[in-house]
Chains A and B, each alone.
Chain A
Amino acid sequence: MTLETAGFWVVAVVLLASSLAVVLTPNLFHAVLYLAAALVATGVVFLLLDSPFLFAVQLLLYAVGVMAIVVFAIMLTERLVGERITQTSRHLVNGGVVAAGVFIGIAGFLIRVPRSLPRAPLVGDATPALGRALVGPFALTLELLGVLLVVALLGALYFARADE
């Protein structure tokens, strides 16, 4: 068992466990914390897939940025009415069946994938190539993405602003 294999199994268990916790825990605040764990685990998966840059992005953007926003949102909505930060679920069986169905559907594809597909050889660090691609062929897309983010933030501000 290589280090990578061992890492994968550990990460997989963490990721799945924290994901399940996200959707099952009754405490919303806890759910957010589990989500943070799941996101970090995902980042580790990226790392296992030789993408350290994405790992960094995942940590910075998701685990910190998104979490901050979500926590703020929870504070703004739940705390204000003074309720306990709990949530309940509904139609657990239905949801389970449908989710399982979708998983089986995907699995139907997965069993067709050639099991021993070789991993492409690693050609140096992917990060500089990624950087070149972002300012090269994808420069325009990147700019547009920037615009999108600005617009989204403006929109969020507009929506969430307090009435005068």
Chain B
Amino acid sequence: MDATVWLPVLVLGLPFASFVLLAVVAPLRRAGRAAGAVSIAAIAAAFLGAVLVWSVGFTREATWTWIPADDGPTATVGVLVDPLANAMLVLVTLVSLLVQIYSLAYLHDERPPSLGRYYTFQSLFAFSMLGLVLSPSFIQMFVFWELVGLCSYLLIGYWYARPTAARAAVKAFWITKLGDLGFVIGIVMLWAATDTFEFRVLFALAQEHALAIEGLGTIMFLIYLGAVGKSAQFPLHVWLPDAMEGPTPVSALIHAATMVTAGVFMVTRAQPLFALVPDVLALIGWVGAFTALLAATMACVESDIKRVLAYSTVSQLGYMMAAAGAGAPDAGFLHLLTHGLFKALLFLGAGAVIHAVGTNDIFRMGGLFRAMPQTGVVFIVGTLALAGFPPLAGFFSKEAILAGVWEADMTGPFLMLALTVLLTAFYMFRVVFLTFFGRAPAAGHPHDPSWTMRAPLWVLAALTVLVGLRLALGDVGAHHGPGWLAPLSVAAALGGIALAWATYQRGVVDPGGLAATFPFSVVDLLARRRYGLDTLYAGLYRGFLLSFSRLIGWIDRYLVDGVLNFLSAWTLRGGDLLRHIQSGHAQDYVYGVAFGVLLLFVWSQWWPR
């Protein structure tokens, strides 16, 4: 095996080795910080390897048999190294590394065994995410897809003693699992039609126009459902805001930068297949744009800083999906990468703030810029990037998406996305103004965190700027839209910022009054109720699933089993009744014998022969 294979395998294997080590060697895991050191060392080495793979630009595919069968394997595993995977490798290892370093300080109050558990899960997550990225086949992607879902479940429920965390963890698992049902049905159908899970073979078939399967549209739609669940698209986005119950670094890593983008990655990866079914693509685009807008409105009314960021993530994932749906997956993928950087930055920054003030509620913060200037600076950098300000990274990727959607003649989604630009700037600066400026509440002495937390922030902020500059100088974004696009989006962003400034900094506009005027009042009302979706799911779960299961349970016990018990009870009763025939008097038995003899006589005399 040459370097093109073993190096990616090594990148994949290091976190796995770390996971196995921590999972099996209990004393090491219970040591807490030592476990963290092992995990960080592994992921750091993996990061170096990933950078090497990326800089050299390996392209290679290698597969091994996983599930054997008589005529060729049913399923294979392997690694697929190409530019797409390389970029993701770097992003995943980088953010993982930074988050793991950050967590050392963020979670320093935890008991050592808990911390060890945390790092065990972190290693498992890094391994799973890398495996997903390197998947050469749908089946391997699904395997790691589920594994990252597992890590998400475990890490959301990291503080498992909290009822809300426990609820959020299972909710996240169930809702994403719902989407995964579509995924698994889709790949099963695809396999039945083509006899393979491998991208290479499928793409080759697609290229030769040999993939004329009946119901390909349905298949691709089902596969897309997996992405809907994982990447929190409408209507399965409800789990992501709740997932903020996990520790903030987890939110930064899993629920912002990496795992939730798996859906986008998958759609991008399978683009040659999706390209065959334009209807599904259009649907992806519309749903993506709608998700972006919907989530942005909910972010505007949210008061929990992490949940604002969560809705923002949903919204940005909508952008990426819209790009993929518009046939501009490159733009979507670029946004995935840049978003991974600055959203991780924002989450880690928010974590620093929460760590300092001890609350999530933005209305109970204020004036923090003076107390923690470094955090403030990097947070504002991230906010600007998210709002799409040149020359930061987010501007170019978002620009590319808008251009791609415009060029695909999808006017409706374009308008929704453009409106979302304004809303994005508004809700993010609402957070900035409320948190870092304005009047400080009296209590507490917040201060900038220790260097282990600051360093990842600065690294991410620097990368946000650098990548932006690199994009500005280079000619990376392939989609240059019409000339009015850039000014429009910058203007929209500025408008949003101005609105936020006027409302929350200057107090010129009364937020309550604004929300009460007609078109906004309806949206405000709906957004505060999360468009009723949470209620709907809860209702379905309680009112339908649990009730139905109770009905089935009742039927099982009292009808299916009841008939049986009814019969056996009657058998017992019948036996009780017949028992009295056994009087114990020998003469009564002689009657029986005599009757038997009589019967024999009757039978022998009159039985027709």
Please give, as numbers and ranges, the residues of chain B lying within 8 Å of A108 by CB-CB distance.
Answer: 601, 605
The A/B interface has a contact count, at CB < 8 Å, of: 22
Closest to B605 in A: A108
Q: Indicate with 1 or 0, residue by residue over B578-609, a CB within 8 angstroms of chain A CB atoms.
A: 00000000000001001101100110010000
Whether A101 is near chain B, meaning CB under 8 Å from some CB there, is yes
Q: Indicate with 1 or 0, residue by residue over A86-115, a CB within 8 angstroms of chain B CB atoms.
A: 000000001000110110011011000000
Partner pick for B598 among A94, A102, A109, CB 8 A cutoff: A102
Count of residues in A whose CB is under 8 Å from the partner chain: 9
Closest to B600 in A: A105
**B605 near A102 (CB under 8 angstroms)?**
no
Closest to B595 in A: A98
Using a CB-CB cutoff of 8 Å, which residues 54-109 of chain A contact chain B? 94, 98-99, 101-102, 105-106, 108-109
Partner pick for A98 among B594, B601, B605, CB 8 A cutoff: B594
Closest to B590 in A: A98
Please give, as numbers and ranges, the residues of chain B lying within 8 Å of A94 by CB-CB distance.
Answer: 591
Count of residues in B whose CB is under 8 Å from the partner chain: 8
**Bound complex: CA A107 to CA B595 (Å):** 16
Please give, as numbers and ranges, the residues of chain B lying within 8 Å of A105 by CB-CB distance.
Answer: 597-598, 601-602, 605
Closest CB-CB distance, A104 to chain B, in whole Å?
8
**B605 near A101 (CB under 8 angstroms)?**
no
**Bound complex: CA A99 to CA B602 (Å):** 15
**Bound complex: CA A108 to CA B594 (Å):** 16
Closest to B601 in A: A105
**Bound complex: CA A121 to CA B597 (Å):** 34
**Bound complex: CA A98 to CA B598 (Å):** 9
Using a CB-CB cutoff of 8 Å, which residues 102-161 of chain A contact chain B? 102, 105-106, 108-109
Please give, as numbers and ranges, the residues of chain B lying within 8 Å of A101 by CB-CB distance.
Answer: 594, 598
Please give, as numbers and ranges, the residues of chain A lying within 8 Å of B595 by CB-CB distance.
Answer: 98
Closest to A90 in B: B587
Closest CB-CB distance, B76 to chain A, in whole Å?
83
Closest CB-CB distance, B150 to chain A, in whole Å?
79
**Bound complex: CA A108 to CA B604 (Å):** 10
Closest CB-CB distance, B598 to chain A, in whole Å?
5
Closest CB-CB distance, A94 to chain B, in whole Å?
8
**Bound complex: CA A102 to CA B591 (Å):** 11
**Bound complex: CA A106 to CA B601 (Å):** 8
Closest CB-CB distance, B211 to chain A, in whole Å?
87
Closest to A94 in B: B591
**Bound complex: CA A101 to CA B597 (Å):** 10
Closest CB-CB distance, B124 to chain A, in whole Å?
82
Please give, as numbers and ranges, the residues of chain B lying within 8 Å of A102 by CB-CB distance.
Answer: 594, 597-598, 601
Please give, as numbers and ranges, the residues of chain A lying within 8 Å of B594 by CB-CB distance.
Answer: 98-99, 101-102
**Bound complex: CA A98 to CA B605 (Å):** 18
Please give, as numbers and ranges, the residues of chain A lying within 8 Å of B605 by CB-CB distance.
Answer: 105, 108-109
Closest to A107 in B: B601
Please give, as numbers and ranges, the residues of chain B lying within 8 Å of A106 by CB-CB distance.
Answer: 601
**Bound complex: CA A94 to CA B591 (Å):** 9
Closest CB-CB distance, A7 to chain B, in whole Å?
31
**Bound complex: CA A106 to CA B605 (Å):** 10
Closest CB-CB distance, B407 to chain A, in whole Å?
107
Closest to B594 in A: A98
Closest to B588 in A: A91
Closest CB-CB distance, B77 to chain A, in whole Å?
82
Closest CB-CB distance, A55 to chain B, in whole Å?
30
Please give, as numbers and ranges, the residues of chain B lying within 8 Å of A109 by CB-CB distance.
Answer: 601, 605
Q: Indicate with 1 or 0, residue by residue over B137-162, a CB within 8 angstroms of chain A CB atoms.
A: 00000000000000000000000000
**Residue of B591, B598, B601 with most partner-chain A CB within 10 A:** B601
Please give, as numbers and ranges, the residues of chain A lying within 8 Å of B598 by CB-CB distance.
Answer: 98, 101-102, 105
**Bound complex: CA A109 to CA B595 (Å):** 17
**Bound complex: CA A21 to CA B192 (Å):** 95
Closest CB-CB distance, A38 to chain B, in whole Å?
20
**Bound complex: CA A98 to CA B591 (Å):** 8
A-B pairs, top 6 by smallest CB distance, nearest first, are A105-B601, A98-B594, A108-B605, A101-B598, A105-B598, A102-B594
Q: Given contacts A98-B595, A102-B601, A109-B605, could you give 18 more A-B pairs where the C-beta distance is less than 8 Å?
A: A94-B591, A98-B591, A98-B594, A98-B598, A99-B594, A101-B598, A102-B594, A102-B597, A102-B598, A105-B597, A105-B598, A105-B601, A105-B602, A105-B605, A106-B601, A108-B601, A108-B605, A109-B601
Chain A residues with CB under 8 Å of chain B are: 94, 98-99, 101-102, 105-106, 108-109
5 chain-A/chain-B pairs, Cβ below 8 angstroms: A98-B595, A98-B598, A102-B597, A105-B597, A105-B601
